[in-house]
Amino acid sequence: MITPRVMYGSASDGKTVFFAGGIQMDDNGNPIVVRTVEKYNADTKMWTMIYRMHKSRKFSSGCFLRGKFYVLSGRDENDKHLTCGERYDEATNSWELMPGMLKDINFITSSQAPPLIAVVDDNLYLLEISLNELRIYDINTNVWKKLGSVPVSANAVFGWGVTFKSMGDRLLVVGTSHS
């Protein structure tokens, strides 16, 4: 990376990977939350710095949805949960701030995992950790629709240790069961 850091949001689209935000160390070894964004091209093996996000964020999640890179939630430099998202359009090299994108999500503790998200068939899904509930995002209304419960106990471990990924045209959820 051009700017070494940890706890960033990331996603890949083919042979390009984006890394957004995270925590880097300043010259005195103190952690700082950044809004730095870089992309890596696997064909050229080159890193490129791109335009910065609107918000500094750590512990965020990233995905590609309908040709754009999204960064969701996370925590700011004051460790406050962010309910906004941001969407990057590579064609215009610009970020759009999406206020309230996660306004209806319950953040149960400051030590919970980044949002558990996955994209299937150009739809964005979220596992709402506190309720063990599957939701789908309506991009036109900026609303998460409830689809029902999942058979894992994501809330027991604040989302850590739970896998929530897309597998082709399906969602994969792995974790301890309710029983």
Give 82-94 pLDDT, tens digit per residue.
999 999 999 999 9
What is the pLDDT of the chain when averaged over all its residues? Answer: 90
Model confidence at 107, in pLDDT bands (50, 70, 90)? Answer: confident
The per-residue pLDDT for 50 is 94
| Domain range 106-179, CATH architecture | Beta Barrel (2.40)
Average pLDDT of 128-155?
88
Q: In terms of Cα–Cα distance, which of 127, 73, 77, 125 is closest to 100?
A: 73
Instruction: Indicate if the pLDDT at residue 12 is higher than 70.
Output: yes
Q: Give yes or no for residue 179 having a pLDDT over 60.
A: no
Task: Check residue 82 and report its DSSP letter.
Answer: P
Q: Name which of 37-51, 61-75, 154-168 the model is least confident about.
A: 154-168
pLDDT of residue 112: 75
Q: What is the distance between the alpha carbons of residues 119 and 110, in angstroms, rounded to a whole number?
A: 25
Which pLDDT score is estimated for 130? Answer: 80
Contact 142, 124 (CB under 8 A): no
Question: In the chain, what are the domain boundaries?
Answer: 1-103, 106-179
pLDDT bucket at 152, cuts 50 / 70 / 90? confident
- Could you tell me which of 159, 9, 3, 160 has the C-alpha nearest to residue 82? 9
Looking at the whole model, is its pTM more than 0.75? Answer: yes
Mean pLDDT of 125-147: 91
More confident residue, 156 or 37: 37
Handedness of CA 53, 55, 60, 64 (dihedral sign): negative
Distances in whole angstroms, Cα of residue 69 to Cα of each of 17, 100, 119, 164: 10, 18, 12, 18
What pLDDT is attached to residue 108? 65
